[in-house]
Amino acid sequence: MAERVFAGKLQRAGFADVWVGGHQPFGIDQAALYPLFTPEVIQVMRETIQADHQDHVATGVIVKARRPQ
């Protein structure tokens, strides 16, 4: 899910003051530390994602919002 899609879903749910920050790159080597990514899918990622993008496949973010009064 893209960041703007995430923010849009929050707004459509009724949330206000949507804030996205704390951006951190998330790469294949980091994904490999999570048991939910199988070795097979990690291998597929290494084979199909361009080498210069492999250290930033996704972005870790913090998303904050408020339910209006």
Partner 1 sequence: MARDLMFQQEIKDTVQRAYGAITGGAGETVARRHYSDQELAEVPAGAVEWALGVGNPVRYARLQPGQAVLDVGSGGGIDTILAARRIGPEGRAIGLDVLEEMCERGRRHAAQAGVEGWIEFRRGEMEDIPLPDASVDVAISNGVLNLSARKSRALAEIFRVLAPGGRICMADLTVEGELPPEVANDQSAWAG
Shorter beta-carbon distance to partner 1: residue 3 or 55:
3
Count of residues touching partner 1 (by CB under 8 A): 41
Report the half-sphere exposure of 8 (CA within 13 A, side-chain side).
Answer: 5
Angle made by CA atoms 42, 20, 50, in degrees to the nearest 5 = 30
Q: Which of 15, 27, 54, 55 binds partner 1 (CB under 8 A)?
A: 15
Contact between residue 68 and residue 28 where contact means Cβ atoms under 8 Å apart: no
User: What residues between 23 and 62 interact with partner 1 by CB under 8 A?
Assistant: 24, 26, 30-31, 33-38, 40-41, 44-45, 47-49, 57-62
